[in-house]
Chains A and B, each alone.
Chain A
Amino acid sequence: MKGIDQYIEFFRSERQRIDAGSQAVMNAQREAAAEALQRLGFPTQKVERYKYTDVAAAFAPNYGISLAAASAPQLEEALISRYGTLARVEDDALTALNTMLAQELIVVHAAAGEHREHPVQITNTLRATAPLMQNRRLLIIAEAGADVQVILGDRAEAQQDFLTTQVTEVFVGEGARVALYDIEDTHDRCHRFHQVFAQVAAGGHLTHTAFTLASGVSRNQTDVQLVGEGADVQLLGCAILNGQQHVDNNTLIDHRAPGCTSRELYKYVVDQQATGAFAGRVLVRQEAQQTDSVERNANLVCTDQARMWTQPMLEIYADDVKCSHGSTVGQLNEAALFYMRQRGISESEARMLLKQAFASEVLHEIPLEALRQRLHMQVEKRFRSCDDCKLCKKE
């Protein structure tokens, strides 16, 4: 059994158990999801938004799925009625697959005007003795004027093959603020597909940070609709890759209302034979006058075998806008490297300092002090272990 069929057949045969451990609202959408998946198939690399990542290959192996047996306590209808309204199964196979199989749903809800001082922290640790697939859902709802921060941590403790799909829906109400930090620190046997669908109402603000400290194959898709006047989004990303790793960030910022702002900064450090991809589309619709948008992707490619694809896209249908986009691909600054070595700093340490300096621009944008410091340390640790290992030594 290969490809998509193994998942659909699994769904058909385990439907009862899947439903038993889930919210009714999730179960109500499974059939449509299965049909969509059947119809769409896994996206090939001919599909524009998937051209940098081989989805079918990632899903080809036979993963086990552990099902929650217990019946889930049913959440209020009013709270979860928004489930599946942004993450539409009709046009995206990965969203369809996740919707068909996901049992686990986490809801973060901030009532109107509620200010949560402390971030909600959700850490997912992968442990298994056989190849494992996980399908997760997250629903974040910030009602008007609310303020909430969510830190997602993905870790893997076992040296095992893992496949994770996650779909996150984020509703930012009028004048609300949501900060979502998605931090992956897994290993090279992990495949991860994360689809984020967000909607920002008038005067609302969303910050989304995708930090890939370590991974195997990761594809993060982040789609943001700015639907109310003066809505604002900041997308940040940092990916550190070596070995055979692959990170693909694919974003869409959809300006649908006037006077909205968007800022986007993604930085990659690609070492050894790793491959990175960034595709960021900013769409400014005709009604989105006075849009202010800046998109930037900067990449350090450390070896001849490392690869980086970058594709910033700006599509403008309004006439009174201020938009810019750009991307750079460069190597470590040789002059700076030599300056440091003249001062006695070893080549590997100098390289580490320069890579860290490169990544620090993204870190500086993170307002949560404790998180920023922790990431600083993790980034340093990551670069060190990468440089200390023999494989990483550039000759």
Chain B
Amino acid sequence: MLEIKNLHATVGGKEILKGIDLTVRDGEMHALMGLNGAGKSTLSNVLVGHPAYTVTEGSVTFNGKDLLAMSPDERSHEGLFLSFQQPVEIPGVSMVNFMRAALNAKRKYQGLEPLDAGSFLKLMREKRKIVELDNKLMSRSVNEGFSGGERKRNEIFQMAMLEPTMCILDETDSGLDVDALRIVAEGFNKLRTPQTSAIVITHYQRLLDYLKPDIVHVLIDGRIVKTGGPELAAEIEERGFDWLR
């Protein structure tokens, strides 16, 4: 469903991605590992269409469509979701209004009527439970005053609301305590359907123990230098990255 071919991208005039090839089929879970600054978040941002990143070469197709030709909101409507490494605050925009705008935009894209207030709140309640996100956060501005862990839960909550088919988790485990990690990982597993695919970016084996990726890639200096099964993650945990350079 997601096919990345020879993807090159720059940010601030500097080439960060230097030819990425990656195919994620329906229902597959891929883990992406690599040193700080290797370009993992850059790849995520390029895929969701962040305007700061420029694709200089290569192509990305998503369910047969040219992903790079779509606007960020279209990509979202088509089923692409990024759980940000560092979710931003949006002062003055309440979680409820934000979520309503997002959900109704997606429904409009699908040719559906906006959800009525009652059903919307009920849906919020159900989805919140999946990641055990406190209700009191819903009346606050988006991510404002949220702890690091709450922000990450909030990302997965939003994922639950929007039901994407292709999820990118960019270090969703960082900032989570051991219990929260389990809750979020199990929540994510609950949300998965046989069609849901994912790219999970992490530095640690812990998250992967829960999510059980099918394939593990190692990204170094803008290139995928090694691809293997789940055992590759365990090997990296043990030996680091030096042997791969």
Contacts and interface: CB of A to CB of B under 8 A. Distances in A.
Contacts of A360: 92
Nearest to A346: B73
B101 A353 contact: yes
A28 interface: no
Interface size class of B (residues with CB under 8 A): 20 to 34
Interface in A327-360: 333-336, 338-347, 349, 353-354, 356-358, 360
Contacts of B73: 341-342, 344-347
A361 interface: yes
Contacts of B81: 342
Contacts of A361: 92
A342 B92 contact: no
A345 B109 CA distance: 11
10 contacts: A336-B90, A340-B90, A341-B71, A343-B76, A343-B98, A349-B105, A353-B97, A353-B101, A357-B90, A357-B91
A373 to B, nearest CB: 14
A346 B106 CA distance: 10
Contacts of A334: 51
Contacts of B92: 354, 356-358, 360-361
B89 interface: yes
Contacts of A340: 90, 93, 98, 101-102
Contacts of A347: 71, 73
Which one of A335, A356, A358 has the greatest number of beta carbons of chain B within 10 Å? Answer: A335
Closest 6 CB pairs of A and B: A357-B92, A344-B76, A341-B72, A343-B102, A336-B90, A344-B105
B84 interface: yes
Interface of A: 333-336, 338-347, 349, 353-354, 356-358, 360-361
A345 B88 contact: no
B152 interface: no
Given A344-B102, A345-B101, A349-B101, A354 B90 contact: yes
B181 interface: no
Contacts of B49: 341-342
Nearest to A338: B50
Contacts of B84: 339, 342
B97 A344 contact: no
Contact of B109 (A342, A344, A358): A344
A4 to B, nearest CB: 45
Contacts of A354: 90, 92-93
B109 to A, nearest CB: 7
Given A343-B102, A344-B162, A361-B92, 19 more contacts: A333-B88, A336-B93, A340-B102, A342-B75, A342-B76, A342-B81, A343-B158, A344-B105, A345-B73, A345-B101, A345-B105, A346-B73, A346-B105, A349-B101, A353-B93, A354-B93, A357-B91, A357-B92, A357-B141
A357 B98 CA distance: 11
A349 B48 CA distance: 18
Contacts of A333: 88, 90
A369 B71 CA distance: 39
B102 to A, nearest CB: 4
B162 A339 contact: no
Nearest to B141: A357
A340 B98 CA distance: 8
Interface in B71-120: 71-73, 75-77, 81-82, 84, 87-93, 97-98, 101-102, 105-106, 109
Nearest to A335: B88
Contacts of B141: 357
A345 B102 contact: yes
A341 B90 contact: no
Contacts of B91: 357
Nearest to B84: A339
A347 B49 CA distance: 13
Contact of A344 (B87, B93, B106): B106
A341 B88 contact: no
A228 B51 CA distance: 56
A354 B73 CA distance: 16
Contacts of B88: 333, 335-336, 339
Contacts of A341: 49, 71-73, 76
A333 B93 CA distance: 12
A339 B90 CA distance: 9
Give the residue among B82, B102, B141, B162 with the most A Cβ atoms within 10 A: B102
B150 to A, nearest CB: 16
A360 B51 CA distance: 28
Interface in B131-181: 141-142, 158, 162
Contacts of B109: 344
Greatest chain B CB density within 10 A among A335, A338, A339, A346 is at: A339
B98 A353 contact: yes
A353 to B, nearest CB: 5
B93 A357 contact: yes
Contact of B162 (A343, A353, A357, A358): A343
B48 A336 contact: no
